[in-house]
Amino acid sequence: MSTTNLAVIPGDGIGPEVTAEALKVLEVASPVKFEQTRYDLGAERYLATGEVLPESVLAEIKEQDAILLGAVGGKPNDPNLPPGILERGLLLKLRFELDHYVNLRPSRLFPGATSPLAAAVLDKGEIDFVVVREGTEGLYTGNGGAMRVGTPHEVATETSVNTAYGVERVVRDAFARAQARPRKKLTLVHKTNVLVNAGSLWWRITQQVAEEFPDVTVDYLHIDAVMIFLATDPSRFDVIVTDNIFGDIITDLAAAITGGIGLAASGNINSSREFPSMFEPVHGSAPDIAGQQKADPTAAILSGALLLEHLGHPEAAAAIDAAVLADLAERGSEPRTTSEVGDAIAARV
Amino acid sequence: MSTTNLAVIPGDGIGPEVTAEALKVLEVASPVKFEQTRYDLGAERYLATGEVLPESVLAEIKEQDAILLGAVGGKPNDPNLPPGILERGLLLKLRFELDHYVNLRPSRLFPGATSPLAAAVLDKGEIDFVVVREGTEGLYTGNGGAMRVGTPHEVATETSVNTAYGVERVVRDAFARAQARPRKKLTLVHKTNVLVNAGSLWWRITQQVAEEFPDVTVDYLHIDAVMIFLATDPSRFDVIVTDNIFGDIITDLAAAITGGIGLAASGNINSSREFPSMFEPVHGSAPDIAGQQKADPTAAILSGALLLEHLGHPEAAAAIDAAVLADLAERGSEPRTTSEVGDAIAARV
Ligand SMILES: CC(C)[C@H](C(=O)O)[C@@H](O)C(=O)O
Ligand SMILES: CC(C)[C@H](C(=O)O)[C@@H](O)C(=O)O
pLDDT single digits (tens) B219-240: 999 999 999 999 989 999 999 9
Same domain membership, residue A138 and residue A36: no
What's the CA gap between B116 and B98, in Å, rounded? Answer: 36
Please report whether residue A36 resides in a domain: yes
pLDDT at residue B118, rounded to an integer:
66
Q: How confident is the model at residue B333 (pLDDT cuts 50, 70, 90)?
A: confident
Same domain membership, residue A132 and residue A44: no
- Mean pLDDT for chain B overall: 95
* CB interface of A with B, residues 48-87, below 8 Å: 83-84, 87
Among candidate residues A168, A306, A190, the one with its CA nearest the CA of residue A245: A190
Nearest to B197 among A87, A157, A193 (CB): A157
Cβ distance A116 to B146 less than 8 Å, yes or no, reads: no
Same domain membership, residue B289 and residue B160: no
Query: Which contiguous run of DSSP H or E holds residue A67?
Result: strand A66-71
A83/B24: higher pLDDT:
B24
Using the predicted structure, report yes or no on whether residue B310 has a pLDDT greater than 70. yes
Å between A254 CA and nearest CA of chain B? 9
pLDDT at residue A136, rounded to an integer:
98
Same domain membership, residue A169 and residue A292: no
pLDDT at residue A243, rounded to an integer:
98
Q: How confident is the model at residue A260 (pLDDT cuts 50, 70, 90)?
A: confident
Is B210 an interface residue toward A (CB < 8 Å)? no
Q: How confident is the model at residue B259 (pLDDT cuts 50, 70, 90)?
A: confident
A191/A119: higher pLDDT:
A191
Half-sphere exposure of A250 (CA within 13 A, CB side): 36
Using the predicted structure, report yes or no on whether residue A1 has a pLDDT greater than 70. no
Same domain membership, residue A64 and residue A9: yes
pLDDT at residue B264, rounded to an integer:
95
Residue-wise pLDDT tens digits, B31-75: 999 999 999 999 999 999 999 999 999 999 999 999 999 999 998
Among candidate residues B192, B68, B98, the one with its CA nearest the CA of residue A85: B192
B278/B335: higher pLDDT:
B278
**What is the Å distance from ligand 2's center to A142 Cα?**
26
Q: What is the mean pLDDT of residues A117-127?
A: 74
CATH of the domain at B305: 3.40.718.10
Q: What is the mean pLDDT of residues A264-277?
A: 96
| DSSP single-letter state for residue B318 | H
Same domain membership, residue B299 and residue B247: no
Q: What residue numbers bound the domain in which A295 lies?
A: 1-101+268-349
pLDDT at residue A321, rounded to an integer:
96
Do the Cβ atoms of A295 and A14 come closer than 8 Å? yes
Same domain membership, residue A273 and residue A252: no
Please give the C-alpha separations between residue A224 and each of A62, B29, B258, in angstroms, as whole numbers: 38, 33, 15
**What is the Å distance from ligand 1's center to B228 Cα?**
14
For Cα atoms B300, B301, B305, give the angle at the middle one, nearest 5 degrees.
115
Using the predicted structure, report yes or no on whether residue A104 has a pLDDT greater than 60. yes
Residue having the nearest C-alpha atom to atom 11 of ligand 2: B248
Using the predicted structure, report yes or no on whether residue B119 has a pLDDT greater than 70. no
Å between A34 CA and nearest CA of chain B? 33
| Ligand 1, pocket-test mutation among B194, B196, B228, most atoms within 8 A of CB | B194
Please report whether residue A282 resides in a domain: yes
Residue-wise pLDDT tens digits, B68-94: 999 999 988 899 998 889 999 999 999
Determine if ligand 1 sits within 6 Å of the CB of residue A92. yes
Residue-wise pLDDT tens digits, B168-211: 999 999 999 999 999 999 999 999 999 999 999 999 999 999 99
pLDDT at residue A120, rounded to an integer:
63
Q: What is the mean pLDDT of residues B303-316?
A: 98
Same domain membership, residue A230 and residue A146: yes
What's the CA gap between B179 and B313, in Å, rounded? Answer: 19
Cβ distance A165 to B152 less than 8 Å, yes or no, reads: yes
Q: Where are the beta strands (DSSP E) in chain B?
A: 3-11, 33-38, 66-71, 102-108, 128-134, 144-147, 155-163, 185-190, 217-222, 239-242, 265-269, 277-281
The answer to whether the annotation marks B207 as part of a ligand binding site is no
Active-site annotation holds for B220: no
Residue-wise pLDDT tens digits, B124-161: 788 999 999 999 999 999 999 999 999 999 999 999 99
Same domain membership, residue A252 and residue A283: no
What's the CA gap between B143 and B84, in Å, rounded? Answer: 16
Helix (H, G, I), strand (E, B) or coil at A189: strand
Using the predicted structure, report yes or no on whether residue A12 has a pLDDT greater than 90. yes
pTM of the full predicted structure?
A: 0.96
Determine if ligand 1 sits within 6 Å of the CB of residue B224. yes
pLDDT at residue A118, rounded to an integer:
66
Substitution target from B103, B131, B155 for chain A, most A beta carbons within 10 A: B155
Q: How confident is the model at residue B296 (pLDDT cuts 50, 70, 90)?
A: very high
Determine if ligand 2 sits within 6 Å of the CB of residue B243. no
pLDDT at residue A119, rounded to an integer:
66
Is B223 an interface residue toward A (CB < 8 Å)? yes
Please give the C-alpha separations between residue B325 and each of B30, B106, B119, B299, B348, in angstroms, as whole numbers: 18, 14, 20, 12, 10
Is B228 an interface residue toward A (CB < 8 Å)? yes
Q: How many structural domains is chain A composed of?
A: 2
Same domain membership, residue B285 and residue B248: no
Active-site annotation holds for B191: yes
Among candidate residues A197, A199, A176, A181, the one with its CA nearest the CA of residue A189: A199
Same domain membership, residue B244 and residue B129: yes
pLDDT at residue A125, rounded to an integer:
81
Determine if ligand 1 sits within 6 Å of the CB of residue A91. yes
Residue type at B187 in one-letter notation = T
Q: What is the mean pLDDT of residues A316-334?
A: 92
| Nearest chain B residue (CA) to A84 | B193
